[in-house]
Amino acid sequence: MRGIQEERTDVADDRVNLLGLPRSELEAFVADRLEAKPFRARQLMKWIYRRGACDFAAMTDLAADFRVRLAGVAKISVPEIVTEQRSVDGTRKWMLRMDAVQGIETVFIPEPDRGTLCISSQVGCAMDCSFCATAQQGFNRNLSVAEIVGQVWLAHRELEASARITNIVLMGMGEPLANYRNVVPAMRVFTDDLGYDLSRRRVTLSTSGLVPQMYKLAEECNVALAVSLHAPNDALRNELVPINRKHPIDELLAACWHYIDKQNGRSVTFEYVMLDGINDKPEHARQLARLLRGRPAKLNLIPFNVFPGTRYRRSPAAAILRFRDILNENGVIATIRRTRGDDIDAACGQLAGVVTDRTLVRLGSRLNTVARPSAEV
Ligand code: SAH
């Protein structure tokens, strides 16, 4: 039962939190602790994820004595909602309590043909990207599997019949591949037919470019991959996404093509935030096209979302359209991401939650010892 111990947050309560246990671990748990057959685990999963139960007493198709024994060794413990905000465009944002001080954010984005839930993987983020509000908060800790899956469980409950979660994107607070150990089991629950039963194409992990973990992920879990590129050359990317000083663009792209090879032919979505006067010039678009042309790649241009204290501005609409057109003319599919929920600070890069920074030195400044070429093209 390796891994379960680590999910406990309350030392006085040694019951195992079943929320987020992948099927194989839940089966092992019912066998080891309750001498029950694997189908009991399957019943439990249906109750927890399909019916949104968090109380064993409600699980009426389980024998009464089994429910009592279960309650002695296990629990279904979900995060608590602190606040909810609703945007005029229908986007909903929840702040969830992680402990007495910390809070993380989860966002639901309704569209006519789908419902996307954007979830967080860490309390804060240590990647230190210069244009991201989460980075300004610093980093506190990784979320547990239960805290990651709990965001979906809660959104499911809150949405009731009003909307369905058809897609999950790991694009909230945090760098998911820096919390690999807990993110991968959570994604197994998202795609399990007794969990949230989403196809692998409807679960997207977005990374700033943790290359070794991308290779590992390719072996273990072939969900859709999004990569925060944001610059067409190393000099500029070193400034915007500091992890680039460790894993430069050519290494990152090699990992992307490897991932797609392993997956049988889908494409990587590259995210590119449009920063006025920084990375939005025609020459940047042409450089980008040279990197991505003929590759299994799509480009998603994200108009920069401002937040208090940022030194960047959003590129004008005309610059974004011109950028997209140059890419399309040069054989790269590029689309512009529609901004959603910015009136409640729920748009890309605006999630901040409540984070007590525990990193003494941020990644950007640690990597500053590496020579930094100028950011000019
Ligand atoms: N850490 C992961 C997951 C975050 S996904 C990653 O970097 O991929 C959120 C996306 O929004 C990323 O592409 C991120 O770079 C982008 N983003 C961050 N700040 C932004 C901002 N202020 N405006 C628009 N997009 C932003």
* Span 144-173, average pLDDT: 95
> Would you say residue 374 has pLDDT above 50?
no
* Span 196-213, average pLDDT: 97
DSSP code, position 156: H
Q: Report how far residue 126's alpha carbon sits from residue 95's, in angstroms, rounded to the nearest whole number.
A: 20
Question: Of all atoms in ligand 1, which is nearest to the CA of residue 228?
Answer: 13
Question: Of all atoms in ligand 1, which is nearest to the CA of residue 206?
Answer: 8
Q: Ligand 1 centre and the CA of 353: distance in Å?
A: 15
Q: Is the CB of 120 under 6 A from ligand 1?
A: no
Q: Using most ligand atoms within 8 A of CB, pick from 105, 127, 203, 228 the residue to mutate for ligand 1.
A: 228
Q: What is the pLDDT of residue 1?
A: 33
Q: Report how far residue 238's alpha carbon sits from residue 249's, in angstroms, rounded to the nearest whole number.
A: 10
Q: Is the CB of 121 under 6 A from ligand 1?
A: no
* Span 6-30, average pLDDT: 83
Question: For residue 347, which phi and psi values (nearest 5 degrees)?
Answer: -80, 170
Q: Ligand 1 centre and the CA of 350: distance in Å?
A: 9
**Top-confidence residue, 253 or 374:** 253
- pLDDT tier for residue 365 given thresholds of 50, 70 and 90: low
Q: Is the CB of 229 under 6 A from ligand 1?
A: no
Most trustworthy range by pLDDT among 9-13, 294-298, 358-362, 366-370:
294-298
- pLDDT tier for residue 298 given thresholds of 50, 70 and 90: very high
Q: What is the pLDDT of residue 351?
A: 84
Looking at this protein, which amino acid is placed at residue 123? V
Question: Of all atoms in ligand 1, which is nearest to the CA of residue 303?
Answer: 24
- pLDDT tier for residue 58 given thresholds of 50, 70 and 90: very high
Q: Atom 26 of ligand 1 has which residue's CA nearest to it?
A: 349
Q: Report how far residue 300's alpha carbon sits from residue 230's, in angstroms, rounded to the nearest whole number.
A: 10
User: Could you tell me how far CA 78 lies from the centroid of its own chain?
Assistant: 18
Q: Is the CB of 273 under 6 A from ligand 1?
A: yes
> Among residues 105, 147, 175, 271, which one is catalytic?
105
Under 8 Å between Cβ of 121 and 179: yes
Q: Ligand 1 centre and the CA of 31: distance in Å?
A: 42
Structure tokens at 311: 């030194």
Lowest mean pLDDT among 16-25, 322-331, 334-343: 334-343
Q: What is the pLDDT of residue 8?
A: 46
Question: Of all atoms in ligand 1, which is nearest to the CA of residue 174?
Answer: 1
Q: Report how far residue 39's alpha carbon sits from residue 105's, in angstroms, rounded to the nearest whole number.
A: 34
Q: Is the CB of 352 under 6 A from ligand 1?
A: no
Beta strand ranges found along the chain (DSSP E): 16-17, 74-75, 80-86, 92-97, 103-111, 114-118, 122-124, 139-142, 167-170, 203-207, 224-228, 268-274, 297-303, 333-336
- pLDDT tier for residue 291 given thresholds of 50, 70 and 90: very high
Q: Is the CB of 315 under 6 A from ligand 1?
A: no
* Span 149-174, average pLDDT: 95
> Would you say residue 9 has pLDDT above 80?
no
**Top-confidence residue, 161 or 233:** 233
Q: Is the CB of 134 under 6 A from ligand 1?
A: no
- pLDDT tier for residue 265 given thresholds of 50, 70 and 90: low
Looking at the DSSP bridge assignments, the partners of residue 86 are 92
Q: What is the pLDDT of residue 101?
A: 84
Let me know if 348 is a catalytic residue.
yes
Q: Using most ligand atoms within 8 A of CB, pick from 136, 167, 206 the residue to mutate for ligand 1.
A: 206
Q: What is the pLDDT of residue 217?
A: 96
Exposed/middle/buried for residue 258 (C-beta within 10 Å: 0-12, 13-18, 19+): middle
* Mean residue pLDDT across the chain: 91
Q: What is the pLDDT of residue 263?
A: 79
Looking at this protein, which amino acid is placed at residue 93? K
Q: What is the pLDDT of residue 288?
A: 98
**Top-confidence residue, 268 or 10:** 268
Q: Which residue from 179, 249, 251, 260 is spatially nearest to 223, judged by alpha carbons? A: 260
Q: Ligand 1 centre and the CA of 91: distance in Å?
A: 18
Q: What is the pLDDT of residue 367?
A: 57
> Would you say residue 120 has pLDDT above 90?
yes
Beta strand ranges found along 254-374 (DSSP E): 268-274, 297-303, 333-336
Q: Report how far residue 341's alpha carbon sits from residue 92's, in angstroms, rounded to the nearest whole number.
A: 8
Under 8 Å between Cβ of 201 and 167: no
Q: Is the CB of 132 under 6 A from ligand 1?
A: yes
* Span 113-121, average pLDDT: 97
Under 8 Å between Cβ of 38 and 63: no
Let me know if 80 is a catalytic residue.
no
> Would you say residue 240 has pLDDT above 70?
yes
Q: What is the pLDDT of residue 7?
A: 46
- pLDDT tier for residue 361 given thresholds of 50, 70 and 90: low
* Span 161-189, average pLDDT: 96
Q: Atom 13 of ligand 1 has which residue's CA nearest to it?
A: 228
Q: What is the pLDDT of residue 2?
A: 34
For every residue of 202-246, DSSP letters joined together read: GEEEEES--HHHHHHHHHH---EEEEE---SSHHHHHHHSGGGGT
> Would you say residue 370 has pLDDT above 60?
no
> Would you say residue 70 has pLDDT above 70?
yes
Q: Report how far residue 292's alpha carbon sits from residue 269's, in angstroms, rounded to the nearest whole number.
A: 11
